[in-house]
Structure 1
Amino acid sequence: MTRPALTSSPATPPLIERPLTMTVHPPIPAAGPDAEAAAVLADALRRAADLPGVLMRRDVELGPAAQLTESRCTHVPIVHLGAELAAGPLAPLTGTLAHELAHQALGHLRTRPLVVWWACHQLTLMAGVLALALRSPWCLVLFAACVAARIIWARISRTQEYQADAYAVRLLDRTGLPGLDITTSTLWAGQHHDTWWYRTVGWMTGTHPTAAARVRHLHRGRQ
């Protein structure tokens, strides 16, 4: 069953005119935002990013995470919010919305190198499995190519995450909110998802940098 979407009103002014509780990193207070506040926030960020519209959907499977897709016909961004994120503190929701809309504004969903290397990764993986089934020595070459394609694809994705973090700060600043503080708070709030393995080695094939790396990169660009 599809949950009702949160949409913004076209009459909403470009800047957030109501007070919103924000704090710097950490901790972030637990105060669940209502649907109206989320809609006002999304519309303000949408206008700051100069996007034609934005649609938000709740997705129970995402938990505390979020995912960006877009309409194939209108290219309107669709931000899928995990149920925990949508019902949680306002600061991480604000930072996450700004980050996802930054991806859309920067055109990351349609980045050709990202699509090409992901396709190479998938094709070499399938070819390697087939070669292994046929007991062909080429399976080693194909699996090595698969790993290389994955590493390149993941690096492009991590670069886009850094770019979206920086642009999210600009979007939040345009709405009159403390962009650097909110983005930093949001990143630190998710650091517990970075396991010891991911922090040491796993990030090399991961699509997202570690929270600590993202915070360092964000503040390095402000020096």
Structure 2
Amino acid sequence: MKMMTNLFSVFDPSSSIFNISINWLSTFIGLLMIPSMYWFLPSRYHIIWINIMNILHKEFKTLLGNPNQKGTTLIFVSLFSLILFNNFMGLFPYIFTSTSHLTLTLMLALPLWLTFMIYGWLNHTQHMFTHLVPQGTPAILMPFMVCIETISNIIRPGTLAVRLTANMIAGHLLLTLLGNTGPSMMSVMVIILLIVQILLLILESAVAIIQSYVFAVLSTLYSSEVI
């Protein structure tokens, strides 16, 4: 039990001043990167970021399928940016990965899902009821399908939050475990370990992008059901 506690302690927000946790400030470090692109226009960083935002805007607009709702994609593009910055910040040494905690991921997923549900049930009640019974379902199976669809709908914020948290923890934990074995290895094995660590770091960079994209896309799909 002690070993497991020590193993996962690298993910704990333990740095504090006056009993106030300061590790969560890493969530806002990404904001420091944003003003730099406005000093010189058009800078390369600015052009790349604007192109990424435009691509995401077009894709989210297609997923929503409702061109009358102007500015709807803005929240999902912002959500993607926030998670992406936090995921990448966690790859740097001595920076706390806030997206590896359910505290942050559930805080992002739960209000979004709750807002969609309240909006859908208040404004499109009949449409929401039709979603509980898939088309072509036999009459005898309808009560069961309503229960299954209701449960799958309720667990959506949990699956969103846990998916992001688990993927962030898994890679970081593997890097930590391999890194801790370095001092007890021979020189040849250390070189192999470094190569493996670099490959894992590249994989984690890809996971950081993919998981932020998946979170934003799934949120967009959930909202498209109620608009």
Taking structure 2 as the reference length, what is the TM-score of the superposition? 0.32
* Structure with the higher strand share, 1 or 2: 1
Which structure has the larger Rg? 2
Which of 1 and 2 has higher RCO (CA within 8 Å, sep 6+)?
2
TM-score normalized by the length of structure 1: 0.32
